[in-house]
Amino acid sequence: MKKLLEAIREDQLVGIGSCSSISEAYTDEEILECLEEKNITTKNGALKWAHDTEELFLSCLTTNFDLYDESTVKTFFEARKKYNYEEE
């Protein structure tokens, strides 16, 4: 599980220094708990969970609170397209 946490923490989109909700609001223990609850055991699965979680967070802020403009979400979506979650 430590490798999964490292993959998330080192990721450019949601890792340390990204200012993402994952980076800023989730402790290591909370991330590991979420991965365990969802039976995620692969690096790509962990990254997909983190990206999905961040996407939901950004979408909610944009839709419900108008705190982010569409370009922020669009930039995240475009960057996310570069990931292939199927390969391990």
39 belongs to a structural domain: yes
Count of the separate structural domains present in the chain: 1
Could you write out the DSSP letters of every residue in 24-63? HH--HHHHHHHHHHTT--SHHHHHHHHHHHHHHHHHHIII
pTM of the model: 0.83
37 belongs to a structural domain: yes
Find all residues with CB under 8 Å of 38, minimum gap 6, and list them: 49
pLDDT of residue 34: 97
- Domain boundaries, position 7: 2-80
pLDDT, one tens digit per residue, over 7-64 is 999 999 999 999 899 999 999 999 999 999 999 999 999 999 999 999 888 877 766 6
48 belongs to a structural domain: yes
